[in-house]
């Protein structure tokens, strides 16, 4: 980036620290990727000037060829971080065909070499302050000095007796004495930093939400193959990964003990249940051992290896290493995730989720359940978006540092807090940003020597495809756009879908023309369903069922819930609503919302059911029974449910054929092939339609049924292989 900038830069409410590579707004850090920060420096240092695109490309990627579109993406990211809206450009102005111009006046904070004394008194000194960008030769400004520095200054004398050079020398001498005194008392500690980033795997099949755990020589992780998760390992230096034999089928990797001999895992055979059995697997592979009757959503080893901590919704438990004698140590009005033990065994850290907003916070409590409190970073609470906030904290092996992941406005980053004791409350330092990424990054985990952290980096790439029954293969649909949860108007001329780029709702003709965006961030959209007259679209967004006009407009919120499906007569909507019973867990049920009376009623017998889909003739509704793992059929005339097909249907992919003769569904957790079926209403005959074998490419991680065209062709969303293990080598003073 050329000559290093050592002074601070200021513009508007922002301050830039080039040495620490931090952007602050009103003293609060703003997450930026490394390249976006370099772009900000390149523009701010030439404030008011048009900076050609070639200059910016050379500054950001001096030794690498990249497409010009990469520059545009980083400009977009920087504008978003600065708070620009799509209609304005108050900071960065695009000069078509040429480059960009930074439109704000950028000032440097006064430095000793920039100060020129014009006059002074016993209370203030008038100086010149330089302006970046060459737009001014200088501005007069009053600089307030401490009393001890003012005493070092002589009384004002006529200009012919006191030269500017003498006054400057005396002023600098006083500042130097004061500065040395302050430095002796307040010398800042060296800052932690990343030395380099290393990609360990290159095959793209690491489960994106897997943990990366190391014993000092090998890294353990979960490998994704369709609907199966296998335990795998690879040398820290890289190479070819290998599977670890285990008696547990699909599993989630939770923790490794301090002796680096045992892995704590959760079985995922009943993947949609809120709690899973815990098992211990030797790091060398072999038979797994069940930990008593423990069912948990997450767990971790204690430093002594003789206990575990585990969580169930808003409850935190400590038990023996065999799962016996569990003791509830803490309860929280929300959800507890990612429990971790401090190295000295005295504290438990965890992530707390607010049930109303889905926002994440870091907490800690004594291992005896006493002295619970949140980690106060002094940051603003993020906009109410699911999974935004701070989470997944982990202690360094020596207990001196605490690392965590932050997710704000779609930007993921790792932050580090220096610790000198065992409690956040007393001695937590200001967080230091270590790493940012536009990709998904999993929780960071330290190496045994504390010199590295390991994590999974996942850049989601989705492609929409249609299954051609005649040719028995999948082909791109709507140009292969990254879309999910498709629904079609009754006349078959229009389609609505969720864009996986920014979770917004779109509609278009079935050939992709006349596309219109109907919702905008931060509202996140899931399922959509058309009104029978084609004038409105209902969708799940932000935990509510909403309706938006076909031609666009402000969405109307109707009721709490998700997975809406409009009745054929247009009078009501079926939807799923989740509740938290007294016994714990999250249980779905199916409800009916009357659009005329605005009343909501539960569909009898639908506990643990989700994904309701009304048949086009209005006689039936199909849904997934999560508890008993069946496809269920509701007869509206009889008011009864009946078993329809066995297995665990993917509740977000159930679809009816246009003539109401068949229900299409998928078993996405049924091995590598993730088969798609259909069952006939007349005789309940089940027929397999396709599997992943008909996807004629090797770069697919998994796929999900996400719609059915008007001619009954299954639509699927392909997830391409693009997730690997990474390590950051650290310098921790």
Which CATH number covers residue 47?
1.10.10.10
CA nearest neighbour of 495 among 511, 507, 477: 507
Please state, in angstroms and rounded to a whole number, the distance separating the CA atoms of residues 34 and 1.
12
Answer yes or no: do 93 and 123 share one domain. Answer: no
Q: Is 185 exposed, middle or buried (0-12, 13-18, 19+ CB in 10 A)?
A: exposed
Please state, in angstroms and rounded to a whole number, the distance separating the CA atoms of residues 326 and 487.
47
Answer yes or no: do 622 and 478 share one domain. Answer: yes
Q: Decide if 544 is inside a domain.
A: yes
Phi, psi (rounded to 5 degrees) for 631: -90, 125
Answer yes or no: do 275 and 261 share one domain. Answer: yes
CA nearest neighbour of 606 among 592, 595, 596: 592
> How much is the pLDDT for 78?
86
What integer is the mean pLDDT of 144-163?
A: 45
Could you give the number of structural domains in the chain? Answer: 4
608, 629, 651: which is the final residue of a domain? 651
pLDDT grade for 190, boundaries at 50, 70 and 90 = confident
Least confident of 71-80, 399-408, 482-491, 566-575: 71-80
What integer is the mean pLDDT of 66-77?
A: 75
Please state, in angstroms and rounded to a whole number, the distance separating the CA atoms of residues 550 and 496.
10
Please state, in angstroms and rounded to a whole number, the distance separating the CA atoms of residues 185 and 173.
19
45, 73, 108: which is the final residue of a domain? 108
Q: Decide if 647 is inside a domain.
A: yes
What integer is the mean pLDDT of 576-585?
A: 66
Least confident of 427-441, 475-489, 490-504, 612-626: 427-441
Domain with 120, as residue range(s), is: 112-186
228-286 pLDDT tens trace:
889 999 999 999 999 988 877 788 899 999 999 999 999 875 444 567 899 999 998 88
Residue 520, pLDDT above cutoff 60: yes
Distances (CA, A) of 65 to 52, 77, 699: 17, 20, 25
Least confident of 75-84, 534-543, 557-566, 600-609: 75-84
Q: Decide if 440 is inside a domain.
A: no
Residue 173, pLDDT above cutoff 50: yes
pLDDT grade for 128, boundaries at 50, 70 and 90 = very low
Residue 697, pLDDT above cutoff 90: no
Q: Decide if 399 is inside a domain.
A: no
CATH number at residue 475: 2.120.10.30
pLDDT grade for 165, boundaries at 50, 70 and 90 = low
Residue 40, pLDDT above cutoff 60: yes
Which comes out higher in pLDDT, residue 248 or 39? 39
Helix axes 53-60, 34-44, angle to 10 degrees: 140
Which comes out higher in pLDDT, residue 443 or 286? 443
**Kind of pairing, strands 289-296 and 298-301?**
unpaired
Q: Is 209 helix (H, G, I), strand (E, B) or coil?
A: coil
Q: Decide if 358 is inside a domain.
A: no
Answer yes or no: do 63 and 152 share one domain. Answer: no
CA nearest neighbour of 419 among 396, 435, 438: 396
Mean pLDDT of the chain: 84
Residue 139, pLDDT above cutoff 60: no
- pTM confidence score: 0.71
651, 670, 697: which is the final residue of a domain? 651
Cis peptide before 236 (omega within 30 of 0): no
Residues of the chain with pLDDT > 90, as a percent, come to: 55
- Token readout for 279 is 């098992």
Q: Decide if 380 is inside a domain.
A: no
Answer yes or no: do 486 and 628 share one domain. Answer: yes
Residue 502, pLDDT above cutoff 80: yes
Answer yes or no: do 69 and 129 share one domain. Answer: no
8 A C-beta contact, residue 191 and residue 234: no
698-712 pLDDT tens trace:
889 899 999 999 999
> How much is the pLDDT for 379?
87
∠ CA 673-668-702, rounded to 5°: 65
Residue 145, pLDDT above cutoff 80: no
> How much is the pLDDT for 178?
62
Residue 586, pLDDT above cutoff 90: no
Please state, in angstroms and rounded to a whole number, the distance separating the CA atoms of residues 473 and 456.
32
Answer yes or no: do 103 and 116 share one domain. Answer: no
383-429 pLDDT tens trace:
656 678 999 999 999 999 999 999 987 789 999 998 764 444 444 56
13-34 pLDDT tens trace:
889 888 888 888 887 888 888 8
350-379 pLDDT tens trace:
999 887 778 899 999 999 999 999 988 888
Answer yes or no: do 156 and 20 share one domain. Answer: no
8 A C-beta contact, residue 15 and residue 24: yes
> How much is the pLDDT for 583?
46
Answer yes or no: do 74 and 121 share one domain. Answer: no
What integer is the mean pLDDT of 605-616?
A: 95
Please state, in angstroms and rounded to a whole number, the distance separating the CA atoms of residues 36 and 23.
11
pLDDT grade for 135, boundaries at 50, 70 and 90 = very low
Residues of the chain with pLDDT > 70, as a percent, come to: 83
Q: Decide if 703 is inside a domain.
A: no
Answer yes or no: do 120 and 60 share one domain. Answer: no
Answer yes or no: do 88 and 119 share one domain. Answer: no
CA nearest neighbour of 714 among 486, 479, 493: 486
Please state, in angstroms and rounded to a whole number, the distance separating the CA atoms of residues 596 and 362.
44
pLDDT grade for 582, boundaries at 50, 70 and 90 = very low
> How much is the pLDDT for 274?
63
Q: Decide if 466 is inside a domain.
A: yes
pLDDT grade for 35, boundaries at 50, 70 and 90 = confident
Answer yes or no: do 645 and 510 share one domain. Answer: yes
Q: What share of the chain is helix, strand, coil (3-state, %, to 5)?
A: 10, 45, 45
Residue linked to tokens 């998904």? 440
Phi, psi (rounded to 5 degrees) for 510: -70, -15
Please state, in angstroms and rounded to a whole number, the distance separating the CA atoms of residues 733 and 78.
31
> How much is the pLDDT for 97?
72
Beta bridge partners of 638: none
Which comes out higher in pLDDT, residue 430 or 317? 317
CA nearest neighbour of 489 among 557, 535, 549, 554: 535
């Amino acid at each position: 980036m050329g000559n290093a900038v050592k002074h601070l830069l200021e513009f508007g409410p922002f301050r830039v620290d080039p040495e620490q590579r931090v952007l602050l707004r009103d003293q609060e850090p703003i997450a930026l990727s490394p390249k976006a920060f370099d772009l900000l420096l390149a523009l701010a240092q030439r404030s008011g000037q048009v900076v050609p695109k070639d200059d910016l490309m050379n500054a950001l990627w001096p030794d690498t060829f990249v497409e010009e579109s990469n520059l545009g993406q980083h400009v977009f990211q920087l504008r978003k971080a600065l708070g620009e809206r799509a209609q304005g450009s108050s900071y960065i102005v695009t000069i078509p065909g040429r480059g960009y111009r930074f439109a704000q006046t950028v000032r440097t904070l006064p430095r000793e070499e920039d100060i020129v004394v014009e006059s002074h008194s016993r209370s203030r000194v008038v100086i010149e302050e330089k302006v970046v960008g060459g737009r001014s030769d200088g501005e007069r400004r009053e600089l307030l000095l401490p009393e001890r520095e003012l005493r070092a200054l002589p009384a004002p004398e006529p200009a012919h007796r006191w030269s500017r050079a003498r006054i400057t020398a005396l002023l600098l001498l006083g500042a130097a004495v004061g500065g040395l005194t302050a430095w002796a008392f307040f010398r800042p500690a060296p800052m932690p930093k990343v030395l380099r980033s290393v990609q360990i795997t290159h095959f793209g099949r690491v489960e994106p939400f897997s943990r990366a755990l190391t014993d000092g020589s090998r890294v353990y992780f979960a490998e994704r193959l369709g609907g199966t998760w296998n335990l795998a390992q690879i040398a820290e230096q890289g190479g070819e990964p290998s599977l670890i034999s285990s008696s547990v089928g699909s599993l989630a990797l939770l923790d490794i003990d301090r002796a680096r001999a045992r892995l704590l895992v959760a079985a995922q055979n009943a993947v949609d249940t809120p709690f899973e059995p815990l098992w211990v697997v030797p790091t060398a592979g072999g038979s797994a051992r069940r930990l008593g009757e423990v069912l948990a959503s997450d767990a971790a080893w204690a430093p002594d290896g003789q206990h575990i901590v585990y969580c169930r919704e808003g409850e935190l438990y400590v038990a023996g290493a065999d799962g016996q004698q569990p003791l509830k140590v803490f309860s929280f009005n929300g959800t507890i995730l990612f429990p971790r033990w401090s190295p000295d065994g005295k504290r438990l850290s965890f992530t707390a989720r607010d049930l109303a907003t889905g926002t994440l916070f870091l907490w800690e409590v004594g291992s005896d359940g006493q002295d619970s409190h949140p980690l106060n970073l002094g940051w603003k609470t993020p906009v109410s978006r699911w999974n935004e906030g701070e989470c997944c904290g982990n202690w360094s092996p020596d207990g001196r540092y605490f690392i965590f992941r932050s997710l704000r406005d779609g930007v993921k980053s790792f932050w580090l807090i220096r610790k000198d004791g065992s409690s956040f409350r007393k001695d937590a330092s200001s967080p230091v940003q270590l790493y940012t990424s536009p990709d998904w990054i999993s929780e960071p985990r330290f190496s045994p020597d504390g010199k590295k952290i390991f994590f999974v980096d996942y850049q989601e790439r989705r492609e929409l495809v249609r299954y051609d029954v005649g040719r028995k293969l999948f082909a791109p649909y709507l140009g292969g756009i990254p879309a999910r949860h498709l629904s079609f108007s009754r006349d078959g001329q229009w389609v609505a879908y969720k864009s996986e780029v920014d979770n917004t709702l779109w509609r278009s003709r079935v050939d992709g023309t006349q596309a219109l965006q109907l919702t905008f961030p931060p509202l996140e959209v899931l399922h959509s369903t058309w009104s029978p007259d084609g004038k409105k679209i209902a969708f799940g967004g932000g935990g509510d069922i909403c309706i938006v006009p076909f031609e666009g407009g402000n969405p109307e919120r109707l009721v709490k819930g998700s997975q809406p499906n409009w009745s054929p007569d247009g009078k009501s909507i079926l939807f799923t609503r989740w509740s938290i019973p007294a016994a714990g867990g999250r249980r779905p049920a199916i409800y009916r919302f009357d659009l005329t009376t605005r009343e909501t009623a539960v569909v009898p017998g639908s506990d643990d059911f989700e994904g309701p889909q009304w048949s086009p003739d209005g006689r039936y509704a199909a849904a997934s029974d999560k508890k008993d793992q069946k496809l269920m059929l509701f007869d509206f005339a009889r008011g009864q449910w009946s078993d329809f097909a066995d297995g665990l249907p993917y509740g977000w992919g159930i679809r009816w054929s246009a003539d109401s003769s068949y229900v299409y569904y998928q078993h996405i957790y049924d091995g590598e092939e993730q088969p798609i079926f259909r069952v006939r209403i007349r005789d309940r005959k089940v027929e397999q339609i396709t599997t992943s074998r008909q996807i004629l490419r090797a770069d697919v991680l998994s796929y999900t049924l996400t719609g059915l065209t008007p001619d009954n062709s299954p639509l699927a969303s392909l997830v391409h292989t693009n997730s690997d293990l990474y390590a950051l080598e650290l310098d921790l003073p």
